[in-house]
Amino acid sequence: MNKRIFIIHSWDGYPEEGWFPWLKQELTEKGFRVQIPAMPEPAEPKIEAWVSHLAKVVGDVDENTFFVGHSIGCKLFFDIWKLCTSTKKWAAHSLWLAGLHL
């Protein structure tokens, strides 16, 4: 299976907190390649820095790319989708949990 899932942590969060490791294990057992990238400066996030960082981590996006966002991670996806309108490349799937509006 070539399906990739990227779980994006919350404001002031980190990859090993809360339910992130549990979800990664569950999805990995089902055959997904799962990454939980540590986002830059989580205590004082700058959305532009997060967009740039995630773009480098993810690379090309296709129908086998999935995202799970929590808190500011949801805002990150919204901003990435705005950028995607110019390139016509979209993630096929996303799940937003407890989104944060700034």
Give CA–CA dist 84/102, Å, rounded.
Answer: 20
pTM confidence score:
0.79
Which pLDDT value is given to residue 99?
47
Which pLDDT value is given to residue 96?
56
Which pLDDT value is given to residue 23?
94
Segment-wise mean pLDDT, segments of 10 residues, the chain, 102 residues:
86 91 96 95 88 85 81 65 57 53 51
Which pLDDT value is given to residue 2?
87
Report residue 81 CA to chain centroid gap: 12
Whether the Cβ atoms of residue 33 and residue 58 lie closer than 8 Å to each other: no
Whether the Cβ atoms of residue 12 and residue 42 lie closer than 8 Å to each other: yes
Which pLDDT value is given to residue 33?
97
Which pLDDT value is given to residue 48?
84
